[in-house]
Amino acid sequence: MIKRLLMLSPLFLAAFPAAAEARPQDYAEGQVWQYATRAQDAGSLVKIQRIEMKDGRPVYHVSVIGAHFAGVSEAGVLEHLPVSEETLDTSVTRQVPGAPAFAGIAIDADIAEWRAQQGGVLNGSLAQVLNNVDAMLSAQAAPVVRSVSTVNS
């Protein structure tokens, strides 16, 4: 599953420098944002599911919908990505109020497993994170990303 790949891949969890142009935002659980996407992910959105503190810094547990990955014909859903504030600061472009596109995504079990595994926090832009996920999925035999139609049904 994607959460195990993210927790176990030390290269994927390596820090990327935050952009110097990062601007502070008032982030809150439940917010949906547009972000600077990769070309193939136009229209993709990110939702802040949970916020918690780890080592004195906020961790944002987010879900992403509308991302496209190699070997998956439909847009996919990444249910859980633990990201830093810098990741959001360098990525989000506009808040989308009342976006209902995230129905049916429950990440409590994923967060519990992340905590139990003492998982890392992803840095860099969301586009960089998705490129890394894409590369990891390309190396896998079977896709582990659900299609959007599966989530919204």
pLDDT at 69: 85
DSSP 41: G
User: Can you give the pLDDT at residue 124?
Assistant: 92
Does residue 152 belong to any structural domain of this protein?
no
Could you identify the residue written with the tokens 């390309």?
138
- 117 assigned to some structural domain: yes
Classify residue 120: in a domain, yes or no: yes
- CATH code (residue 131): 3.90.70
What string of pLDDT tens digits covers the 153 residues of the chain? 344 444 434 334 433 333 334 344 689 999 999 999 999 999 999 999 999 999 999 999 999 999 988 877 777 888 999 999 999 999 999 999 876 667 778 889 999 999 999 999 999 999 999 999 888 877 775 555 555 444 444
pTM score of the predicted model: 0.75
pLDDT of residue 26: 87
pLDDT score for 39: 93
Which residue range(s) make up the domain with 16? 2-140
φ/ψ region of 98 (left if φ > 0, alpha if ψ in -120 to 50, else beta) reads left
Backbone angles phi, psi at 124, to 5 degrees: 95, 175
Cβ neighbours around 89 below 10 Å, total: 17
Number of domains in the chain: 1
Q: What is the pLDDT of residue 20?
A: 35
Give the amino acid at 94: R
Q: How many CA atoms lie within 13 A of 42 on its CB side?
A: 2
Has residue 104 been placed in a domain?
Answer: yes
Backbone angles phi, psi at 111, to 5 degrees: -65, -40
What is the per-residue pLDDT for 153? 44
Residue 149 placed within a domain: no
**Which residue in 149, 135, 120, 150 sits closest to 4, CA to CA?**
120
